[in-house]
Structure formats: structure tokens, C-alpha cells
């Protein structure tokens, strides 16, 4: 009997159709990322080796990953890695997976400060180190502190810092927001944060991929603003005068966060930055002390 030969090209087509039948958002890309992971190659390799047959071991490794994806686990949580700002972050199901939206914040900071700046940066709710480590990668004379309430997140953040060669420029602390920074001993040039900001009541609108992420990293209370209240009040104690804050916000939260900042009378030059989808995704301001 004729035995079917699964080439890279055929298996990609099959997987794309299968994912499409499950109404997944990016069926082609997901199949490519999972197959690249199994083969230990980049995605270009798949196209330069389109007719290469897969051996049984490779097929056996690929199938369960396709099944997991079809059950609603994100590609990043299956492969244990996610590209963000040109860096490959280790991730797992204990942290918020880095999102392209968050690159808006990082790119803004990189466009605002020259490459040789020696900033002291604090990242509140650092997760796997997403914002802080990517800033430090492109600002080689800067250094910083990352805080998070989750010890699991911090152990991944440390692993990422080591893999990017930044362990000497960075310190991680287990801390519920500012609590471990006791009394503002250090004042920073820049405070960044992508705190949990989804409204509790919006849980039903989230896809299964997102719901599989830790809820502690997603939900920001009834109006989604709980952590911005703490940031708005707290940042001025931990910033130098004329230091900057930059927060990621939910697609419809920029005005509300601006109001919280204005109410404190500590900030000037409040600005919004739009993400690729045209939503105001970042709120930034200068601290007047
Ligand atoms: N942007 C994320 C999402 O909607 C949420 C991130 C967050 O709460 N900080 O999936």
C-alpha cells in the first residue's frame, strides 16, 4: 500500500486546515511556530526545506503540540518561549506572555532616550521581565530593578536576565507593588509597568488562550484600574524630579488613567501613545516631585 509521505510543506498545510476548522485566529503561523520548535529551526528553514520529509520521531513530537494548541493553549505556553523586541523570552503558564502591544511602550522609551543613557529603571509587575529586560538590552549603560508579587514570575525573569547577559545590571525583588521598596530609599529615572488591567466582569470576553494565563496577571478589579491607583499614588515617591512614568493601559482606559494621575498633582506632560491597532495603549508623564 502507498505510504503517505509527510513533508514539511504537507504537514503545514494539514495543520493550517485543522486549526482553521477549529476557528483559530492565526492557523498558518501557529503551525509554523510549533513545527519550527519541534525541528529546532527557525521559520525560514521550513520554506527552504519545504519538500523535506519528516521522520517518525518528528511526527510523534509534533502531534501532541497540535492537540494542545487545539485545546486552547497558546503557542508560547506550549513551546516555552516568546519573541518580544527581537529577544526570545522563556515563558510558562505562571506568567503573562509578552504581547506585541507592549512593544509600543518599549519602542517609545527607546525613541525618547539616547542609546548611551544611564537610566535607573523600575519595572513594577515585571512578569518574565518583559519590559525591563528589553529596555536594558537596547540601553546597555542602564540598569534596573524588577518587582513582582509572583516568585514564579521572578524565577523566570532571572533566567531571562541570565540568558540575555544582564544579571549584573539588574535586581529582582518579590514585592506587592512598591511594598518591598521600603520608604523610597532609591529614586529612579523611569518607572514602567504593565499591571493587570482587565475588568473582572470582562472575563467572559476573553479567549481560552488568555484565560489559561495566570489570573493574577490579568485582572485589575471591577473597573480594571486598581493597580493604576497604586501606581499613580506611589510612583512620585520612587521617582527623581523630572523622572518619567510609562504605563501600558487597556484599550479604553487611557482617559481614566490620565484622571488618576491628574488627581495626585504630581505629574505634568501627560501623553498617550497608540498601538498598531490605533488604541491609546500607553500613558506617559513626567513627575514633578
Ligand atoms: N493585554 C492583555 C490582554 O488583554 C492584558 C494584559 C494586562 O492585563 N496587563 O490579553
Q: Is residue 101 within a helix (H) or strand (E), and if so which, with residue range?
A: none
Q: Confidence class of residue 185 from pLDDT cuts 50, 70 and 90?
A: confident
| Whether the model pTM is above 0.95 | no
The reply to whether 82-287 shares the fold of 8-71 is no
CA of 220 to the centre of ligand 1 (A): 10
What's the burial of 201, exposed, middle or buried (CB within 10 Å: 0-12/13-18/19+)? exposed
Domain spanning 82-287: which CATH class is it, in words?
A: alpha beta
CA 210, distance to chain mean position in Å, is: 12
Return the closest-CA partner of residue 144 out of 161, 163, 127: 161
Q: Confidence class of residue 1 from pLDDT cuts 50, 70 and 90?
A: low
- The answer, yes or no, to whether residue 256 has pLDDT greater than 60, is yes
For range 8-34, the mean pLDDT: 96
- pLDDT, residue 51, reads 96
- pLDDT, residue 65, reads 98
Residue 219 CB less than 6 A away from ligand 1: no
Alpha-carbon gap, residue 273 to 12, rounded angstroms: 37
- pLDDT, residue 77, reads 92
CATH topology of domain 8-71: Helicase, Ruva Protein; domain 3 (1.10.8)
- pLDDT, residue 208, reads 87
Q: Confidence class of residue 254 from pLDDT cuts 50, 70 and 90?
A: very high
| pLDDT one-digit tens code per residue, 38-66 | 999 999 999 999 999 999 999 999 999 99
Please report the ipTM that was assigned to this predicted complex.
Answer: 0.90
Determine the atom of ligand 1 nearest the C-alpha atom of 218. Answer: 8
C-alpha grid cell, residue 63: 502531534
Residue 229 CB less than 6 A away from ligand 1: no
| pLDDT one-digit tens code per residue, 148-184 | 999 999 999 999 999 999 999 999 999 999 999 977 6
CA of 60 to the centre of ligand 1 (A): 34
- pLDDT, residue 184, reads 66
| Domain segments of the chain as ranges | 8-71, 82-287
Determine the atom of ligand 1 nearest the C-alpha atom of 198. Answer: 8
The proportion of the chain whose per-residue pLDDT surpasses 90, expressed as a percent, equals: 93
Q: Which residues are annotated as a binding site for substrate?
A: 194-197
Count Cα atoms within 13 angstroms, Cβ side, for 179: 8
Residue 198 CB less than 6 A away from ligand 1: yes
- pLDDT, residue 182, reads 76
Return the closest-CA partner of residue 85 out of 153, 43, 140, 135: 135
- The answer, yes or no, to whether residue 228 has pLDDT greater than 70, is yes
Mean pLDDT score across all residues of the chain: 96
DSSP structure class, residue 229: H
- pLDDT, residue 4, reads 77
Q: Is residue 180 within a helix (H) or strand (E), and if so which, with residue range?
A: none
The proportion of the chain whose per-residue pLDDT surpasses 70, expressed as a percent, equals: 99
Amino acid at each position: 500500500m502507498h505510504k503517505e509521505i509527510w513533508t514539511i510543506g504537507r504537514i503545514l498545510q494539514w495543520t493550517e486546515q485543522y486549526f482553521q476548522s477549529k476557528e483559530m485566529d492565526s492557523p498558518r503561523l501557529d503551525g509554523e511556530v510549533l513545527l519550527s520548535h519541534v525541528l529546532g529551526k527557525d521559520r525560514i528553514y521550513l520554506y527552504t526545506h519545504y519538500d523535506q520529509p519528516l521522520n517518525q520521531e518528528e511526527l510523534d513530537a509534533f502531534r501532541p503540540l497540535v492537540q494542545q494548541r487545539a485545546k486552547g493553549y497558546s503557542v508560547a505556553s506550549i513551546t516555552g518561549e516568546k519573541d518580544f523586541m527581537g529577544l526570545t523570552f522563556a515563558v510558562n503558564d505562571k506568567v503573562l506572555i509578552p504581547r506585541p502591544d507592549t512593544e509600543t511602550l518599549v519602542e517609545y522609551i527607546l525613541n525618547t532616550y539616547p542609546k548611551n543613557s544611564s537610566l535607573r529603571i523600575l519595572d513594577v509587575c515585571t512578569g518574565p521581565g518583559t519590559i525591563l529586560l528589553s529596555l536594558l538590552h537596547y540601553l546597555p549603560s542602564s540598569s534596573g530593578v524588577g518587582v513582582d508579587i509572583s516568585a514564579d514570575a521572578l524565577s523566570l525573569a532571572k533566567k531571562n536576565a541570565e540568558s540575555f547577559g544582564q544579571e549584573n545590571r539588574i535586581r529582582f525583588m518579590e514585592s506587592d507593588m512598591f511594598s518591598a521598596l521600603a520608604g523610597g530609599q532609591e529614586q529612579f529615572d523611569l518607572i514602567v509597568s504593565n499591571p493587570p488591567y482587565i475588568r473582572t466582569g470582562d472575563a467572559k470576553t476573553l479567549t481560552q488562550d488568555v484565560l489559561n494565563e495566570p489570573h493574577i496577571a490579568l485582572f485589575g478589579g471591577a473597573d480594571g484600574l486598581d493597580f493604576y491607583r497604586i501606581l499613580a499614588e506611589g510612583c512620585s515617591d520612587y521617582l527623581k524630579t523630572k523622572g518619567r512614568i510609562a504605563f501600558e493601559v487597556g484599550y479604553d482606559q487611557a482617559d481614566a488613567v490620565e484622571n488618576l494621575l491628574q488627581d495626585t498633582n504630581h505629574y505634568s506632560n501627560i501623553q498617550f501613545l497608540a498601538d498598531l491597532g490605533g488604541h491609546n495603549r500607553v500613558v506617559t508623564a513626567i513627575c514633578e516631585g
